[in-house]
Chain A
Amino acid sequence: MTANQDHKENTRQTENLLADAAFLEDIRRQMIKFATLQLGDGHLAEDAVQEALIGALKNASSFGGRAALKTWIFAILKNKIADTLRHKQRVVNASSLLREEDEDEELSELFDRKGFWQQDERPVAWGNPEAFLRETHFWRVFEACLERLPPKQARVFMMREFIELDADEICVAVDLTTSNLHVLLHRSRLRLRECIENNWYLQGERNDELP
């Protein structure tokens, strides 16, 4: 087969896949979930997913199958999310900032009055993470812990760690001072750490209770 025929064949396959309602619906559902987590807004997520899918349909060429196509669509989506986060000022309004719990109350579960770890909250050694990063169950725990974070903490954490925006970019995007951002990231890491430890490490790395 010549390169040109090969290319045509791939394009046809991709077009078939994009016309496959079940495949599209499945990938759309995953995209919406991924985008909603990060944008904290269903409408913005729908828009980003829509744009990513349109981009994919427009350029349906040289993707030889389901695997490559999905990787590519998610790469487009990640760029859309980054754009949305960068350009959307004040994604979170002031009232939702006020609704976040009181800091002292939140941290008092973890630290005593002098600011030292409560006995049963002291972090334990986690050991080598490489082994479990391949386990599907670990990722279910991770995702559930992420979903339990207060929305604003989750959002800045994901902007920082998933989209890899730097601190200044995040401050502009969500209208925060640097010091507010540090506080939010500190809290999100404390919570996420605790949740992962309790539901993965202290459960013998198995816990089917977690939703």
Chain B
Amino acid sequence: MMNCRNATRLMSEAQERPLSTTERMSLKLHVIMCSGCHNFKDQMGTLRLMARAYAKRKNEPMNEK
């Protein structure tokens, strides 16, 4: 079975490139059984959302001090 280090690496890479079918399948298997990686997977999306919101926020007026 794939370990968490490799699973998180693939989930990170998925933010830059499409994963192969094999990669997707083995990742899916791991994530079903691992709650930590399941949460990590959701967080990749959230992290991107945060980063985009942060950059956008910097472009917007009157938001911070």
Decide if A116 touches B3 in the complex (CB within 8 Å). Answer: yes
Chain A nearest CB: distance from B52 CB in Å? 7
Chain A nearest CB: distance from B59 CB in Å? 5
A66 within 8 A of B: yes
Decide if B17 touches A67 in the complex (CB within 8 Å). Answer: no
Decide if A125 touches B42 in the complex (CB within 8 Å). Answer: yes
Chain A nearest CB: distance from B19 CB in Å? 12
Contact with B along A91-134 (1 / 0, CB 8 A): 00000000000000001001100111100011111100100010
Chain B nearest CB: distance from A75 CB in Å? 6
Distance in angstroms between the alpha carbons of A26 and B50 in the assembled complex: 25
Residues of chain B from 19 to 39 with CB closer than 8 A to chain A in the complex: 34-37, 39
A90 within 8 A of B: no
Which secondary structure dominates where chain B touches chain A?
helix
Decide if A185 touches B16 in the complex (CB within 8 Å). Answer: yes
Distance in angstroms between the alpha carbons of A122 and B62 in the assembled complex: 37
Residues from chain A with Cβ under 8 Å of B63 in the complex: 136
What is the total number of residues of chain B having a CB less than 8 Å from a CB of chain A? 38
What is the total number of residues of chain A having a CB less than 8 Å from a CB of chain B? 46
- Known contacts A34-B58, A107-B5; A129/B50 CB under 8 A: yes
Residues of chain A from 42 to 67 with CB closer than 8 A to chain B in the complex: 66-67
Residues from chain A with Cβ under 8 Å of B60 in the complex: 71, 74
Decide if B36 touches A189 in the complex (CB within 8 Å). Answer: no
Q: What residues of chain B have their CB less than 8 Å away from a CB belonging to chain A?
A: 3-6, 8-9, 12-13, 15-17, 34-37, 39-40, 42-44, 46-55, 57-64
A-B contact list, 10 entries, CB within 8 Å: A110-B5, A123-B40, A123-B43, A129-B50, A133-B49, A139-B57, A161-B52, A162-B54, A186-B8, A193-B47
Question: Apart from A67-B62, A110-B5, A126-B42, what 7 extra A-B contacts exist at CB < 8 Å?
Answer: A129-B46, A129-B50, A133-B53, A136-B64, A186-B8, A190-B8, A196-B47
